[in-house]
């Protein structure tokens, strides 16, 4: 073992440095891919004189990436748990409501992130990165809100063949994660007018809910 994290409560300066490293890494990875950026370049771009800053604050590149993912998941979860809790009182949950809970919390988070942002592309890259994909699915898509949605939502686990349910879940995840990344990319590159970012996110949200309802009914039958 080499350096470990600070034992005392982190100083304000340390918190700031950590935050700067996370935002810098997210941006550089989103723009250049995991292959295009070294840990040293992240430290330098974040204004850290010490080249082992990433190691000091996050132990490793993967530790840094996981911390960024956790931060993103927490932002989405804050919106989603409120929406899913609100479904509890309803007698029946429609497929539209179900996918509203899945998609709209991301839409809100991406609108709050502003333009340009990097989190959607970062997330999409992590989901196809061999060393990270299982982690992303397990730790970051298995949140309390999604657990609750599985219990009270429109798609009941007991009625559907497990292998078909797993395939369906994978399709829903991949379609939404990569569609969000695509719009973020288009906004960052001016292919979609940044002045219309908020409207574009809302439209994508509606299109995704429509597409997912159609895909689900076709694949799983009427629910």
Q: Report the residue from 16, 32, 85, 161 that binds a copy of itself according to the rule CB under 8 A.
A: 32
H-assigned helices in 114-196:
119-128, 133-135, 144-152, 162-188
Binding-site residue total for a copy of itself (CB under 8 A)? Answer: 38
Burial class (CB in 10 A: 0-12, 13-18, 19+), 34: middle
Question: How far apart (Å, rounded) are the C-alpha atoms in residues 143 and 90?
Answer: 22
The residue from 107, 121, 187, 197 that contacts a copy of itself (CB under 8 A) is: 121
From residue 141 to residue 170, what is the string marking binding to a copy of itself with x (rule CB under 8 A)?
A: -----------------------x--x--x
Stretch that binds a copy of itself, among 73-81, 82-90, 130-138, 151-159 (CB under 8 A): 130-138
Please report whether residue 214 would count as binding a copy of itself according to CB under 8 A. yes
69's tokens? 């993912």
217 belongs to the binding site for a copy of itself (CB under 8 A) = yes
Among 111, 152, 165, 213, binds a copy of itself (CB under 8 A): 213
Residue matched to tokens 């809790």? 85
Q: Using DSSP, how many helices (H) and how many strands (E) does the chain show? A: 10, 0
Rounded Cα distance, 206 and 200, in Å: 10
Rounded to an integer, what distance in angstroms lies between the CA atom of residue 49 and that of residue 46? Answer: 9
**Cβ distance to a copy of itself smaller for residue 82 or 189:** 189
Does position 117 bind a copy of itself by CB under 8 A?
no
Q: Which of 51, 44, 52, 53 is nearest to 13 (CA)?
A: 53
Which residue in the set 7, 35, 138, 222 belongs to the binding site for a copy of itself (CB under 8 A)?
35
CB atoms within 10 A of CB 188: 19
Which residues lie near a copy of itself (CB under 8 A)?
Answer: 30-36, 121, 124-125, 128-131, 133, 164, 167, 170-171, 174-175, 178-179, 181-182, 185, 204, 207, 210-219
């Amino acid at each position: 073992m080499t350096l470990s994290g600070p034992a005392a409560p982190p100083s304000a300066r340390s918190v700031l440095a950590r935050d700067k490293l996370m935002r810098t890494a997210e941006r550089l990875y989103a723009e250049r891919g995991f292959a295009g950026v070294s840990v040293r370049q992240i430290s330098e771009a974040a204004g850290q004189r010490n080249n082992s800053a990433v190691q000091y604050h996050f132990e490793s590149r993967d530790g840094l990436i996981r911390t960024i993912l956790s931060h993103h998941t927490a932002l989405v979860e804050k919106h989603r748990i409120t929406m899913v809790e609100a479904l509890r009182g309803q007698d029946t949950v429609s497929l539209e409501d179900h996918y509203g809970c899945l998609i709209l919390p991301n839409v809100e988070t991406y609108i709050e992130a502003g333009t340009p942002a990097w989190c959607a592309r970062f997330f999409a890259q992590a989901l196809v990165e061999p060393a990270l994909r299982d982690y992303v699915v397990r730790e970051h898509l298995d949140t309390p809100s999604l657990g609750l949605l599985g219990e009270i939502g429109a798609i009941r686990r007991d009625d559907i063949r497990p292998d078909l349910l797993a395939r369906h879940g994978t399709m829903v995840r991949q379609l939404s994660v990569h569609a969000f990344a695509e719009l973020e990319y288009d906004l960052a590159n001016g292919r979609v007018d940044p002045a219309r970012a908020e409207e574009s996110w809302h439209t994508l949200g509606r299109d995704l809910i429509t597409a997912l309802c159609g895909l689900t009914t076709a694949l799983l039958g009427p629910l």
